[in-house]
Each structure stands twice: as C-alpha cells, then as structure tokens.
Amino acid sequence: TGHTTLDYGFVNTAATKSAITYIDGDEGILRYRGYPIEQLATNSTYLEVAWLLLYGELPTADQLGAFDERIRRHTLLHEDLKRFFSSLPHTAHPMSVLSSATAALSTYYEGQSDPNNPEHVELNTIRLLAKLPVIAAYAHKKSVGQAFLYPDNSLSFVDNFLRLNFGVMSEQYEINPVMSRALERLLILHEDHEQNASTSTVRLVGSTGANQFSSISAGINALYGPLHGGANEAVLDMLARIRDSGESVQRFVERVKNKEDGVKLMGFGHRVYKNYDPRAKLVKESADEVLTELGVHDPLLDLAKELEDIALNDDYFRERRLYPNVDFYTGVIYKAMGFPTRMFTVLFAIGRLPGWLAHWREMQNDPQTKIGRPQQLYTGSPRRDYPGV
C-alpha cells in the first residue's frame, strides 16, 4: 500500500492495544493491570497474579480457591503423553522438549480447542497452567535420567513443582520454604511483559485462528532464543566461561566493547528499559538473600557483581544506556536452587505462561483483531524472462 513504513524489529510500531501490562522504560516502571511489580512480587502468589492478568482484577479468596482447586485437578498428563518423552534423546534441550510436548498436548484435546468457544478457552487455560509445569519437570527428570513423579495435589502450585523437579520416588521430599518463596517471586516477576517477542508470537499465531496449545508452543520456541528468554542460560554460560578461562573481567568487557566475535554482555540491555530494569533490581536483592539463606556461596555471583560494576562505570554501556535486565541475576539463584543451567529458560516459560494466555485471550476478544500480516519493501530483481522464453 502507499502507507508502508519500514520498521525493522518493530521499534516504533504498535500492533495492538492492550490493557494488561504497563511499562515506562525511561522511568523503570512495570505494572500488571495497574499494580506495581514490586508490590505483587512481595505480597502475591503466582496463581493470584495469573488470575489478575487473565481476568483484570485481583481474585476474591473464593475465586482464587476455586481457580487453584481446578488447576490441581488438571495436573495429570495422559500416560501416552508421558511415553512421548522416551522418544527424545536424553540430551534433548528441555526447551525443545517443552515446546514439542505442548504442541503434542493439543492432540489429546482435539474437538475441545475451538478458539471461539469460551468453555474450551477456559478449560484449556486451566489445562495449560496445570500441565506445563509437570511437562517442564519431566523434561528436567529426563535430562538427569530419573523417574517421573506423579503430581502431589495436596501441595501448593510452587511446592508441587519443586517436588516434581527435585523429589525422588522412594523418599519424602522436604519443602524448603526459602526456596519455595524465592521461586514464587521469580515466577511472578516473569508473568507478563507486554508485547515482547514471544508474546507477539503467541498473538500472531493466535491471530490465524490457531488454538491455545499451538500458540503457546510457538511462544515457547520464540522465548528459546538467547536474545530473549535464552539469555538467562547464556548469562551463566558466560560467567562460567570467564571463570574457567582465567581472563580478567576487564579484558572480557573490552572484548564486548570491541564487538570481537560478536560477543555481547548477556543479561545487559533491553529494548524498552533504558534505565535499570525494575525486575533486575528485585532479582539482585533476592540473589544475595536466597544464597545466604540456602547457605550457598557461589563465586559466579561475585563475578556477576564485578561485571556489573565495571559495565555501569564504562562509557560504552552508559552511552548506550545498557543496564542489567531480569536475566542477569536469575541464573545464579536458579543454580543455587539446584536447577541445571538448561532448565533456566524453561523456568522463564512457566513464569510467562499466564501472560501469554492473557494476551491470547485479549486478542481473541478484541473485535479489531485481524490476522497479523506485516508488509515488506521488495528489494529483489525486476521482472525477467526464464531462459529460452
């Protein structure tokens, strides 16, 4: 059309209106449905925030109780789906396992996944919230070669998840309340972030009329990349590499500044936050607290702090307004909890799931929604003839 503007990476283009999350990147503000992230992270729970994102208001005690109960009743995976895991190599990255198993879930609910049927949408929202943490934990168990546990529905959402990840068949699993609260807080911090790459993917796929399972599976794949959710894993790999190479932090930062081999300071920079990421502030506080309370001393945390100090005082990072983002300190905490590095992005996905679902539903209910279909500016050859014609 005559109005096409070129906007690589959608830096200036809004693709939708949304009433879910508010961000002011210059001021470092993040609010879900109007509530400041700091207040939710300290006082709320994962499921309460999920309700808030999905339905727009904080639930009453009865509403939250019924929601929690319904989710507990949907945690079991079909036994056939459990066998799906054995067809994948034990070296499989848990993010690939999670996205494939999520896509596979839809095969169990064919005929019950009509995006225009509110009962189906409601039921599949519950199914996804209940079953994805179980799939995530099984992806973990598979990677360490341990048996899958059945969910214990007498436990809270987060405690059930911890037990599925770290419990072993024959033993009673002791919930560590410090770990449980810290994980809940991290999950809340990840629950939504408006039109980021994975959420935009969920919306784009959903705009074609695809069901929730297909849309969420696509979102998981978008999150997997190192510039997005994969950054939390990449940060830990980066810190471990610096430690093992014996290279000084200063020298590493020089290589980043010289863009040697395209090396970036993972966990730094953000498309929207040009001031400190408010989530990073909360995670950094947690990192010290949680490691102390769990009695873990990790030299990688010291290395991360040294790296942050050097970067924050360096003109390259200052001029480009690059600050730590949410992914910079999360990995150190997940590691202290005992999660393998390759599970970090899976934890991000479980955190983000309520946001993806809320956006999918908002899009579905918006009468303005059309199939997502960007324009292009053609730069190829003009018309030419096939040889001999």
Question: Which stretches of the chain bind ligand CMC, using CB under 6 A?
Answer: 9, 196, 227-229, 231, 256, 264-271, 320, 322, 325-327
CA distances from residue 230 to 31, 94, 226 in whole angstroms, order as listed = 23, 12, 4
- Distance (Å, whole) CA 275 – CA 177: 33
Minimum CB distance to ligand CMC, residue 197 (Å): 7
Between 115 and 229, whose beta carbon lies closer to ligand CMC? 229
Report, in this order, helix, strand and coil percent for the chain, each rounded to 5.
60, 5, 40
Between 196 and 215, name the residue whose CB sits nearer to ligand CMC. 196
Instruction: Compute φ and ψ for 24, nearest 5 degrees.
Output: -120, 105
Neighbours of 314 (CB within 10 A): 16
Tell me the residue number closest to ligand CMC, measured at CB.
269
Active site residues: 270, 327
- CA separation for the pair 85, 141 (Å, rounded): 10
Cα 26 off chain centre by: 23
Q: Which has the closest alpha carbon to 256: 327, 314, 332?
A: 314
Identity at 7, one-letter amino acid code: D
Rg (CA), the chain: 22
Closest distance between ligand CMC and the C-beta of residue 51, in Å?
24
Work out how close the CB of 192 gets to ligand CMC at its nearest, in angstroms, rounded to a whole number: 12
Q: Judge whether 233 and 255 are in contact, CB under 8 Å.
A: no
Tell me whether residue 59 or residue 229 sits nearer to ligand CMC (CB atom): 229
Where does residue 76 rank: exposed (0-12), middle (13-18), buried (19+ CB within 10 A)?
Answer: middle
Measured distance CA(329)–CA(326) in Å, rounded: 7
Is residue 120 within 8 A of residue 114, CB to CB? The reply is: yes
Cβ nearer to ligand CMC, comparing 160 with 286: 286
Nearer to ligand CMC, 105 or 231 (CB): 231
Report the residue number, 151 or 354, with the smaller CB distance to ligand CMC.
354
Residue 327 Cβ, how far from ligand CMC at the closest point, in Å? Answer: 5
Considering beta carbons, is residue 224 or 360 the nearer one to ligand CMC?
A: 224
Residue 46 Cβ vs ligand CMC, minimum distance, rounded to whole Å: 18
- Alpha-carbon distance 236 to 347, whole Å? 14
| Strand blocks (E) in the chain | 21-24, 29-32, 35-36
**DSSP labels for 276-298?**
--HHHHHHHHHHHHHHHHHT---
Closest distance between ligand CMC and the C-beta of residue 384, in Å? Answer: 36
Q: How far is the CB of 385 from ligand CMC (least distance, A)?
A: 41
State how beta strands 35-36 and 21-24 pair. unpaired
